Amino acid sequence: DIVLTQSPGTLSLSPGERATLSCRASPSVSSSYIAWYQQKPGQAPRLLIYGASTRATGIPERFSGSGSGTDFTLTISRLEPEDFAVYYCQQSDSSLWTFGQGTKVEIK
């Protein structure tokens, strides 16, 4: 089974700052199968990034994804007030999904 480990658990930042979220896969996974989701309290998750680096429809350009093999990154270039939320990475190899444990981005 593919295990995804996200770090840090919590990221305390101010609006306007840059956020860098990490997702490590074990074993390695094709970047084609890596996605990122955003979840706000009381809401369903929303797809942000798929294929490790492709923004989903309607997702602002400040969100970007990168990485390959075992190390993947979600970057939010300049945090907006609505970006404070929990972020999950996901792998979808062989149609069997695994999620990371999540990174909470909170207001400092």
Q: List residues binding another protein (CB under 8 A).
A: 32-33, 35, 37, 39, 44-47, 50, 56, 88, 90, 92, 95-102
Is 53:31 a contact under the CB 8 Å cutoff?
yes
In angstroms, rounded to a whole number, what is the distance separating the alpha carbons of residues 95 and 44? Answer: 20
Q: How far is the CB of 34 from another protein (least distance, A)?
A: 9
CB of 32 to another protein, least distance (A): 8
Closest CA to 90 of 16, 14, 21, 15: 21
Nearer to another protein, 20 or 97 (CB): 97
CA–CA gap between residue 105 and residue 13 (Å, rounded): 7
Q: Which is nearer to another protein, 27 or 96 (CB)?
A: 96
